[in-house]
Structure 1
Amino acid sequence: MGAIRFALIGVGKIARDQHLPAIAGNPDFDLVAAVSHHDPELDVPWFATLDALMASGIAVDAVALCTPPQVRHALAVQALHHGLHVFLEKPPGATLAEVETLRAIADARGRTLFASWHSRYAAGVDLAKAWLAERQIRAVRIVWREDVREWHPGQEWIWQAGGLGVFDPGINALSIATHILPQPFHATQAVLYVPANRDAPIAADVAFTDVSGTQMSMNMDWRETGAPTWDITVETDDGTLRLSVAIGHARLVLPHALHEGPDREYAALYARFARLIADGISDVDVAPLRHVADAFLLGQRRLVEPFVE
């Protein structure tokens, strides 16, 4: 089998910063086209719509959807009906039900659907999972704080219904937690701080518990003006684990051990996608999105000052 003929749908910041370098660095993929509302100025043909790409005669095997989640479902349905394999940026959709629909379509058509969670591929995450599997968890604290003006400038969609607000980065923490913690957990209460002029929260506090009654807290805030904090701390019967995930690298601190590594998340995602296609299977884990949905179901909405960029 030759290289997977690949098209990128949506050529915004995440596509340019992460997807394009990862595609270029993986010989299993050959970027043959892009779909964007504006000329992305790439060295491949571009089209304003997926239908226009399909009508062009360019052979495509797979696509990555890097659009806002509110419009991703319709594009994924189109792609699957055209017989394409589909890579979904996180979150995989605006709702749980639409992702399950995509899974059913992919299964029926024998196509690969990949719900990607890039933070699970950060350095130290698998080591953290293995270390925690042999210990008793006593408490978990997640702190995910950053300046929205720095990290999400001009992204109006993120403030709209379905855009998740502060949970858009926060879901990265939940993707790690659902991967490394040895027992399932669920939300018990949540407070969502919503600007008076927006649909989605700018900050949130969520409490969780697992089947053993272990307490877990999560604090997210987009009003952080200093250095960002992306930390997961787990207290165990054998000491404390701290995993810090940052742009460019990740750092895992264990009792008497330190592990650090560079950012290879998207390279690993594309390697995983190629293996899934070769094996003829899908990978659609909705656990992180389910926790976000539960937080919105349980959440007390508290209005805060309007957000003006």
Structure 2
Amino acid sequence: MSPINLAIVGVGKIARDQHLPSIEKNPDFKLIAAASRHGGVEGIAIFGSIDELLAAVPDIEAVSLCMPPQYRYEAAHKALSAGKHVFLEKPPGATLSEVEDLQAQAASRGLSLFASWHSRYAPAVEAARALLASTTIRSMKVTWKEDVRHWHPNQDWIWQAGGLGVFDPGINALSIVTHILPRPVFITAATLEFPENRDAPIAADIRFTDAAGLDLSAEFDWRQTGKQSWDIAAETDAGRMLLSEGGAKLALDGKLVHEEPEQEYPMLYRRFAELIGKGRSDVDLAPLRHVADAFMLGRRKVVEAFYD
């Protein structure tokens, strides 16, 4: 079969670091155009907006949207209206309602919509899921701490309302937790720390439970320097599980039981091609719903100003 003609919208850091290399190595896709206010891609046509892109390149079959979530709905709506399959970088949108509307639009047009959660494709996530399904979970603690100055330098959008703040990385942890736990969980309490000069939180402390009374806590922080922490630990009847390095490694009682090379974004694009081939969508809103619940239930705590 011929490769799927693909365009990318929003040529920023995540597009350059992950999307472009993954697309280049995937024979199911051919990148034929891009749209971006500032960036470009060598060797392909570049346009200033998705409107110009769609008007000038009718052969596009699918679009990957990599702009900030506050602007993603409008672009996705235009792409779907033009009959294109759509890949949504995480988080899939700024609100639950707008993503649900996109899901309905895709279904009504027979198009594929993919709300991607790259951390679910980390090497050891499926092994952790199988382990937790085979035992009783006593408690779980999520520790997701990183240095925002390293990962999001001078990105003002992430501090604006709708940019999610520390939940931009924290939602990666939530995407793993909602995938590996055998039962749905819900938030019971949260404290969100907002710098006095920002509209999005820099840290969050969240408590969850489930119908069986699971003790689950999550600690997100953007102020960590040095070694970064992306860990999910669980006390189980089978022993202490540690899913570390963002899902790259799985250990049980201190013994490493699973480790593979990271292939998150290549696997996302394989999944997108599969969805298009089968005429299906994949839109799981559980991680975004937990973020919305944290903002709904969370106690706001103002902390010192943050400057890049």
| TM-score exceeds 0.5 | yes
Structure 2: distance between partners of 1:199 and 1:303? 11
Secondary structure at 1:198 match in 2:
coil
Deviation at 1:57, TM superposition (A): 3.7
Structure 2 counterpart of 1:307: 306
Please tell me whether residue 7 in structure 1 is matched to residue 7 in structure 2: yes
1:60 paired to 2:57: no
SS of 1:262's equivalent in the other structure is: coil
User: Taking structure 1 as the reference length, what is the TM-score of the superposition?
Assistant: 0.97
Which residue does 2:271 correspond to in 1? Answer: 272
**What does residue range 187-206 of structure 1 map to in structure 2 within 5 Å?**
187-206=187-206
**Map of 1:53-132 to 2, 5 A cutoff?**
53-132=53-132
* Pairing of 1:279-298 with structure 2 (within 5 A): 279-298=278-297
Task: Please say if residues 11 and 39 of structure 2, whose CA atoms lie closer than 8 Å, have aligned partners that are also in contact.
Answer: no
Counterpart amino acid of residue 123 in structure 1? P
- Partners of 1:288 and 1:42 in 2: CA distance: 35
Distance 2:134 2:273 in 1: 32
CA distance in structure 1 between the partners assigned to 2:11 and 2:75 by the alignment: 14
Identity %: 59
Structure 1 SS opposite 2:305: coil
Partner residue, 2:221: 221
Distance 2:93 2:164 in 1: 10
Moved over 4 A (4+): none
CA RMSD of aligned residues (A): 1.0
Query: Distance between the aligned counterparts of 1:170 and 1:88, measured in 2?
Result: 18
Deviation (angstroms), 1:22: 0.5
Runs of 5+ unmatched residues, structure 2:
none
Within the candidate set 249, 252, 261, 1:251 is matched to 249
Letter paired with 1:252: L
Counterparts of 2:20 and 2:262, CA distance in 1: 15
2:160 corresponds to 1:147: no
Deviation at 1:134, TM superposition (A): 1.0
Structure 1 57/152 Cα, relative in aligned 2: closer, same or farther at 3 Å? Answer: closer
Q: What SS is found at the alignment partner of 1:165?
A: coil
Q: Distance in 1 between matches of 2:55 and 2:264?
A: 33
Deviation larger for 54-63 or 293-302: 54-63
Amino acid at match of 2:241: L
Contact 2:128–2:250, Cα closer than 8 Å, also in 1: yes
What secondary structure, in the 3-state scheme, does the structure 2 residue paired with 1:43 have? Answer: coil
Residues 9-36 of structure 1: CA deviation (Å, up to 9, x unaligned)? 0000000000001000100000000000
Q: Does 1:30 align with 2:30?
A: yes
**AA paired with 1:276?**
L
Q: Which structure 1 residue ranges, 5 or more long, are not aligned?
A: none
Q: 1-side partners of 2:281 and 2:42: how far apart?
A: 29
C-alpha distance in 2 between matches for 1:300 and 1:79: 38
Match of 1:168 in 2: 168
Superposed displacement of residue 119, structure 1:
0.3
CA contact (8 A) 2:87 2:114 kept: yes
- 2: distance between equivalents of 1:25 and 1:278? 18
Q: Distance in 2 between matches of 1:178 and 1:31?
A: 32
CA deviations on 1:120-165 (whole Å, 9 max, x unpaired) are 0001100110111011110000000011111110110000000000
Contact (CA 8 Å) 1:145, 1:223: kept in 2 or not?
yes
Give the residue type in structure 2 aligned to 1:281: R
Measured in 2, the distance between the counterparts of 1:130 and 1:52 equals 46
- Contact between 1:122 and 1:245, CA under 8 Å: does it hold in 2? no
Look up the SS of the partner of 2:91 in the other structure.
coil
Between the two proteins, the alignment pairs up a number of residues equal to 307
**Do 2:146 and 2:224's aligned partners in 1 also have CA atoms closer than 8 Å?**
yes
Question: 1:58, CA displacement in angstroms?
Answer: 4.4
Partner letter of residue 171 of structure 1?
A: I
Q: Which amino acid letter does the alignment assign opposite residue 158 of structure 2?
A: I
CA–CA separation in structure 2 for the residues paired with 1:147 and 1:182 = 31
The offset of 1:237, in angstroms, is 1.2
